[in-house]
Structure formats: structure tokens, C-alpha cells
Structure 1
């Protein structure tokens, strides 16, 4: 049974402009209004409530060096979301987290009740692999979440309560970045498998899922993190960092259908309703997720 957890966090994102607040915190309710929750409920899903974050602060002018934006609030939210995931797994359900920004993947790594030895499938239009060893611009965990998930960030983010790394690099897979991603070669050399968007487009979502699935699975399942900017901005411009060369809706749906059955849970992130005034992109995303994730966790 699916259990939907709303996690309306925008804490890991840069402000869209100085003093402004990212709109991703509105995504869970926008997707509810678009019918996603009711459609999943028809398939047997239950609503497992909301884990609210603290207030977003544009702290660029006051944040000390060596810290990410909204760091204390982000860590607090990750720990509380991990506790909620633990309760979902303990009850025998499969969590589907509707975010929010992609720093939420940290909570999945912190959870104690998930199967041990779990892998990570990171579906994103960017590698999100910026980290202090390679960049002096670290600040936003939503652009650094893959690095943090495998232990390549400041300990305050990547080793919360001494529990990092949250996922084994050898059992971590990335799917969906563009071929010109600046960290692509480094990611290929660091994690278990990479399938850029061009590969998914060339071979199809089902085949791409089959190629990388076993790397992350290895009999214990994996967490499935899906950043909506994996879609091409022609069909999904309502994201923080749209880049051309992304997937079409049918390609992402097929990819998710290939990945969902062996996933121990999933998180959906970076949809921004502020960039979707008439709700058309929320409706499209609801179609993709309802079609792609209906079998989430069904083969575990």
C-alpha cells in the first residue's frame, strides 16, 4: 500500500531573486488540487500527513562560510521527515514523498526502518554533484543532494548524527542529466551507473530503467528520487532550473514504470506552482506520476 507524505520544503533552493521565496513549498497542495492524491487513493494509497519545514530565509548576507543556506532548518526537517518515513515503513506501507526540493533525499537516507543496504536511483535533469571538494560555491543542497547522499559534502549535511554516507556510491545510479553537465564525467567515475537523458531518449525509458536497475537493487531495493526538471522545459517549464534536452512525458512515465516496482519509496521534487498559474503543468505531472508510480514497491 502506498502512503503519501507531503513535504513542502523549499529550504535547499536558492531564492528566485534576492529576498524572494521559492515556490516549491506549494507543490504538494497544487498536485492535490490537480487530482494526484485522489487518483492514487483509488489505487489504495492513504494520506500519511504533512511534515512542515521551518520558515525559508534568504541568508546569503549572514550565512557563515562552510554552511549551506537554511542549514539548521534543513537538517531539522530531514530528521523529522525520516521519523515519518520510519512510521510508514513500520506500518508495512511504501512511502511516496511529494515535495518540495530535492534535499529531501537526505531524509530517506536517515530513516532507520528502511531495508538495510538500500540503493539510490537519482532521476534528475542535473547531476546535483556540486560539493566542497570541487566547488567554492556550495550553498544550496537542492543542487548538491546527490553528493550529500553519498557522503561528499560538509559533515553537517552529509553525516547528520554520524549516520552518513546515506547511500553506497556503488549502489547509486543517476538518470537524466544533460550531456553537457559539468560534473558528468566525475559522477560516472564515482557512482555505480549513469544514464544521461540522451540515452533514455535514444533507447526508451523502459530499456534505460532495465540497464541500471540491478546496480541499485541488489536484492534490497532502492530509494527513487525524481526531480521534475528531468523533463524538457518545452513540456515542463515550472521548475527552478529548466534545461533543454530533457525527457518527454511518455519517456518519463515509461522510466518510472520500469523503476517503481523495486523501489522502497520515492520522492518527487522541484515542481514550482508559482510558474504554473493555470495549473496545466500540475495536471500533466499528476498524469505522469499516477501512471508511472502506480506499482511503487509492488515487487518487494
Structure 2
């Protein structure tokens, strides 16, 4: 059974402008208003409530070196989110976590690592692999979440509760970056599989999904950043880049991957960039059609 869990955190994003606050934390309620929770309830899903994040602070002027933006608040939210995800997993449910920014992947990683670990299929328009070894600009976990999840970041976020790596790199498959992603060559040598958005279109989403599932193993977490969609389809994201996939490809990709996923997280939709709700409604259609089979073919422990 699917259970929906809201994680309205924007802690890992840079401010849109100095002193302002990103809008991604509004995504769970915007998607609820667009019908997401009602549609899943019709499929038998339950609602596991919300894990609220701490206050977002634009701390660029005061943050010391070697720390990410909103670091302690991010750690605290990750731990509390992990506990709630873990409760769902222990009940035999498939948690569908509605974020929020990509930093919520840390909570999913903690929850699964505490239970012996699973693979990871990471669908994102960016590799999210910025880390202290390849950049002097580490600050926003939303652009560094995959690096942290496989143990390649400062221990404060990559080794919460001594559980690093949350996902083993060789059992991690990434899908959806653009060819100009500056970290793709490094990621290609670290992860089990790396597939750009163009290959999803040329080779077919079901084929890419099946190959990625083989890398991630018989059970995995499924992380979706909706900026994998082309900006002509989904402009309401923090960092829209051309060259993404279409709604049909994403739906097919999710449909292929969802059954063997123990749970999934959806991130970076920004309702501030969707004033009339049209993109929220599009996401409801994609997610309902693509994830209705979430967790239905996960092997028994």
C-alpha cells in the first residue's frame, strides 16, 4: 500500500535573490490542491501527514567555511523524516514523499540505511554531484544531494548518525542529466550507471528504466526531481535547463521503475512559478499514472 508523506522543506536551495525564500516548500500543498492526494486515495493510498522543516535562513553572509546552507536544520529534518519513512516501511507500506527540495533524499537514505540498505535510482535534470572535492562553492544540498547520499561530501551531511554511505555508489543509477553537466564524467566513473536525458528519448524510457533497475538491484529508492522534464513542459522548477524529457517519457520511466521501488520522493516543483496551477495539474497526471504501482513488486525481506 502507498502512503503519502509531505516534506515541505526548502532548506537545501539557494535563495532566488538575497533575503528571499525559495518556493519549493509549498509544493506538497499545491499538489494536494491540484488533486494528487485525492487521486492516490482513490487507489487505496493513505496519508501519513507532514514532517515540517525548520526555518529557512539566507545565511550566506554569516555561514562559516565547511558548512552547507541551513546545515543543522537540514540534519534535524533529515533525521525526523527518516523516522517517519522508517515507520511506513516497517508497516510494509511504500512511502511516497512529496517535497520540497532534493535534500530530502538524505532522509530517505537514512531510513533505508538503518534497515540494511537498498539501491537508488536517481532521476534528475542534473547529477547533483557537487562536493568539496570538485567545487569551492559547496553550500546548497539540493545541488549536492547525490554526492552526499553516496558518501562523497562533508561528514556532517554525508555521514549523519554514522550511516554513510546511505546508498552504495555501485548500486546507484542516475537518469536525466543534460550533456553539458559539468560533473558527468566524474559521476560516470563513480556510479553504477549514468544515462543522459537524450538517451531516454533515443533508446526509450522503458528500456532505460529496466537497465537502471538491474543496476540498483531487486529493491531501491526512487528519487525524482521534476526538472528532468524539459522547461517547455515544466518551467516551474529552480533550475530549468533545455534538453529534458517529455511528460510521456517520464510517465513511462516511472511506470517501469515504480513496482520495485520501496518508496519514492518527488522534489523541486516550485508553485511560486505556477500561479494558475497548470503545472501542478500536469504533475498530478504524471505521478498518478507513473507511480500507481509503487512497491508492488518489492521482494519480501
Q: Does structure 1 retain, via aligned residues, the 8 Å contact 2:117–2:166? A: no
Q: Does structure 2 retain, via aligned residues, the 8 Å contact 1:200–1:208? A: yes
Q: CA deviation at 1:269?
A: 0.1
- Judged with a 3 Å threshold, the aligned counterparts in structure 2 of structure 1 residues 38 and 113 are, in CA distance, closer, same or farther, namely farther
Residues 253-284 of structure 1 deviation map (CA, whole Å, 9 limit, x = unaligned): 00000100000000000000000000000000
Are 2:194 and 1:194 aligned? yes
1:9-24 aligned within 5 A:
9-24=9-24
- Judged with a 3 Å threshold, the aligned counterparts in structure 2 of structure 1 residues 117 and 90 are, in CA distance, closer, same or farther, namely closer
- Whole-Å separation in 2 of the counterparts to 1:43 and 1:244: 34
Q: Does structure 2 retain, via aligned residues, the 8 Å contact 1:262–1:299? A: yes
Give the aligned partner of residue 60 of structure 1: 60
Q: Does structure 2 retain, via aligned residues, the 8 Å contact 1:89–1:113? A: no
1:182-221 aligned within 5 A:
182-217=182-217, 219=218, 221=219
Give the aligned partner of residue 42 of structure 1: 42
- Whole-Å separation in 1 of the counterparts to 2:32 and 2:63: 35
- Whole-Å separation in 2 of the counterparts to 1:280 and 1:293: 20
Give the aligned partner of residue 92 of structure 1: 92
Residues 91-125 of structure 1 deviation map (CA, whole Å, 9 limit, x = unaligned): 11110000000011111111158752300111000
1:108-257 aligned within 5 A:
108-111=108-111, 116-217=116-217, 219=218, 221-257=219-255
User: Alignment partner of 2:167: what SS?
Assistant: coil
Q: Does structure 2 retain, via aligned residues, the 8 Å contact 1:197–1:246? A: yes
- Judged with a 3 Å threshold, the aligned counterparts in structure 2 of structure 1 residues 130 and 224 are, in CA distance, closer, same or farther, namely same
User: Alignment partner of 1:147: what SS?
Assistant: helix
Give the aligned partner of residue 77 of structure 1: 77
- Whole-Å separation in 2 of the counterparts to 1:251 and 1:125: 13
Q: Does structure 2 retain, via aligned residues, the 8 Å contact 1:114–1:264? A: no
Number of aligned residues: 298
Q: CA deviation at 1:189?
A: 0.4
Query: Superposition RMSD on alpha carbons, in Å?
Result: 0.9
- Whole-Å separation in 2 of the counterparts to 1:92 and 1:235: 35
Q: CA deviation at 1:172?
A: 0.5
- Whole-Å separation in 2 of the counterparts to 1:56 and 1:176: 28
TM-score, structure 1 length as denominator?
0.98
User: Alignment partner of 2:166: what SS?
Assistant: coil
- Judged with a 3 Å threshold, the aligned counterparts in structure 2 of structure 1 residues 201 and 253 are, in CA distance, closer, same or farther, namely same
Q: Does structure 1 retain, via aligned residues, the 8 Å contact 2:114–2:163? A: no
User: Alignment partner of 1:186: what SS?
Assistant: helix
Structure 2, unpaired ranges of 5+: none
TM-score, structure 2 length as denominator?
0.98
- Whole-Å separation in 1 of the counterparts to 2:45 and 2:279: 23
Give the aligned partner of residue 276 of structure 1: 274
Residues 40-73 of structure 1 deviation map (CA, whole Å, 9 limit, x = unaligned): 1100100000000001000000000000000000
Structure 1, unpaired ranges of 5+: none
- Judged with a 3 Å threshold, the aligned counterparts in structure 2 of structure 1 residues 89 and 164 are, in CA distance, closer, same or farther, namely same
Q: CA deviation at 1:143?
A: 0.1
> More deviation in 208-217 or 224-233?
208-217
